[in-house]
Structure 1
Amino acid sequence: MSDSFDCVTQYVFRICNEEQLCVHAGDAEHCEIMRHPTYERLRAKAIMMEGEPKPTRLWESMVAMGRLYDMRGDDKWRMIVLDCVISSLRGRSLRISRDLYVDLSDVRSDMFEAGLATWTETVRGVPPRRVPAVMRKTAIRAAYQRATDQTRETVFERPEDFLNEDGFPELSGLKASSLIHGADFRNPAVAEQLRGERNGALFHKNNCMNSVTRFHEDIRAGRRPDITARAAKAPMLARSNPFGPSHYYYISDFLPPFIGMPAAAEALGIPESAAYHMVRKGTFPCPPTRMGRSLKVPVRPLMHYMDIPDVIVHPDDVENGAAHASGLARQFRDPRRE
């Protein structure tokens, strides 16, 4: 009969399959390092021997990826870290069960729950390299607590029951003056148009509309299906066509996925030396990931922390907003009339 440890391992192997995992950037396409192991090899390297996980760069990168994916609402790397931590406790859980006369499944269930709770509690104030060791110690302490509190019952069935328990609130809208006068802003189509026009005006202000226009050409030509498919899943999109391609995209899709620490420090308004000091203390607001000898900061979590909305926009609205800002207002293009 499978216990919690087995369920977690089966779950992680199922979601990872035989794909190559990039522990540096999450996506191998954006990574500067070419060596990407399967999960079986990554797991074997992480839990090479039973005992306290050493604060290696591998563990540091795994924890950083877990924090990054948590911000996206994806549990993949969180569960990878949990599986590697609790797998190093298999022998210890057997000894606790045997020596203290406690059911093995209860011991492992307690260990898993404690590890998951510790993962959440160490988001702030604990450097990524120390998180696995803290999770392991907490899990062992929870298992010994079982022996002194036999009345508590804990049942573990599926790891999915514990996933996505943290909320991921949507970001607020941009605070800018309206480009649409006399319109009903409660109308989803109007709100959608306004959202795109405001961002188009910002793109124009930052002199990047040439790049945005080329990006839009790729979208309209169907060369970025991964981007448009992700945005099209959102509800209440006024021009989403169920019978044809969608042209919507998230603002972050136009931006680079990672930036260097100097650029991130500048965006946060802090000295670069202070940013590196915060990383070492585990207090940097966005989990950086290591690529070779340098640290890179993911853009989407940085936007989230800075309250920059990662909204869904339509190319037509963005271009109209840029035209408004440049004084060349054009009639709104509606693909439904074309």
Structure 2
Amino acid sequence: MMPAPSLTGCKVVLRLLSWLLFLALALGGAAVWWVYTPMPVGNAALELEIEPGTSPRGVARNVEAAGVRVDARLLYAWFRVSGLDRRMKAGNYEIPPGTTPYSLLQKLARGEESLQALTLVEGWNFRQVRAALARENGIKHDSAALSDVDLMVRLARPGVVPEGRFFPDTYTYAKGSSDLAVLRRALHAMDRRLEAAWSQRASDTPLKSADDALILASIVEKETGRPSDRAQIAGVFSNRLRVGMSLQTDPTVIYGLGEKFDGNLRKRDLQADTPWNTYTRSGLPPTPIAMPGKAALLAAVQPAATRALYFVAKGDGTSHFSESLGEHNRAVNRYQRGQ
């Protein structure tokens, strides 16, 4: 028979178990404290890039390499214990001061990438759009070496002129995203806006297609000094299209001059024939001249009911509208020549 354990031996075992339990609780408490304690990041946010296919261990190493003063082995152990290690997503992230191992893992598991914002402004032409993209530091400039023609091929719109085809708005993107992805979103946004506007067109519109509406909207966008005048200006141009009058709008002439325009529109410019000179050619120009916003699109398809055929800037951002040439000439003398 085995001898019965002594009372002293039982006490030793119980004491050992108690110490082990205490140690486990202490380690567990320390682990919980560590998980919810901000990591040493510094005074500014750090950038973390995770390439597709990076392992959880590699992510932990990347965090340390990004400048976070943390033991990558300990961080990796936390990833594994959490059960979220396989849910972490590739991308570009920011690690701001105050980030804890817990909040970092949550961010990586949700794919909360750091975002940049690019604003495309109503009335910009495509040359200005490309210049804005070139100035963005956090974006991949995949379109930089592409011609306009090749760029539209990459966007699955071969043969389509890019002018006016992108909706002016603010677009957010993750650092490292392609500029083609931003352009694709803006392109599809304009598709939706144009389709919606064209479906609301007036029954007596002289416009033949949604593309015509886009062209007219771009002219309205450039001619509008005051939002309240948009529908009136669209009404003047619609009336001219109905009766076969030339549109005679300066912004189209300026667009046709391109980079040669020095800010001063001269009489010889109005007489120099280009496909966009609406003084020398009747009807709409062949392409839009800028990016119209939602309001300009709606004005183009729902112009004001007016008999006006002329308008002139009054110098305060508004326009004076006239039904006859005589009235228009008097308005020009008053507002433009101070007579």
Q: Tell me if both proteins adopt one fold, taking TM over 0.5 as the criterion.
A: no
Judging by fraction of residues, say which structure has more helix: 1
| Larger RCO: 1 or 2 (CA < 8 Å, sep 6+) | 1
Q: TM-score, normalised by structure 1?
A: 0.21
Q: TM-score, normalised by structure 2?
A: 0.21
